[in-house]
Amino acid sequence: MDRIAHFTSLVAQQPANPLFRFSLAQALDAADRREEAAGHYRACCASRADWMMPRILLGKLLLRSGDTAAARPILEEALHLAVEQNHEDPAAELRALLGAL
């Protein structure tokens, strides 16, 4: 079973499980199914206000899709979380991404 089918099945069984949804988003993103991936990343962001990674990945996905206006506030929020949680490498990456916009 491929990763997308595997995690789709797990999300169907446990739709409230954010880790299954996050894994599905990553699998969809890797398969360049951006719109579907974005929806799952957004659900992950909504599930936890302090979860930095889905925000980073959603922001990057939006940048790849050319939607800078939508990416900026998500990346800014991710940067705030990275700084607040003392994640230096993600903070540096996010500063660079935002600086390039």
- Residue whose structure tokens are 């302090």: 50
Helix (H, G, I), strand (E, B) or coil at 86: coil
What is this structure's pTM?
0.94
pLDDT of residue 93: 96
Band of residue 19 on the pLDDT scale cut at 50, 70, 90: very high
Rounded Cα distance between 4 and 44, Å, is: 17
pLDDT of residue 22: 98
Query: Could you tell me the CATH number of the domain that includes residue 22?
Result: 1.25.40.10
Domain housing 61: 3-99
What's residue 24's pLDDT? 97
Average pLDDT over residues 11-31: 96
| Number of domain units in the chain | 1
Asked if residue 1 has pLDDT above 80, the reply is: no
**Looking up tokens 């954010």, which residue turns up?**
18
pLDDT digits (tens, 9 = 90+) for 37-66: 999 999 999 999 999 999 999 999 999 999
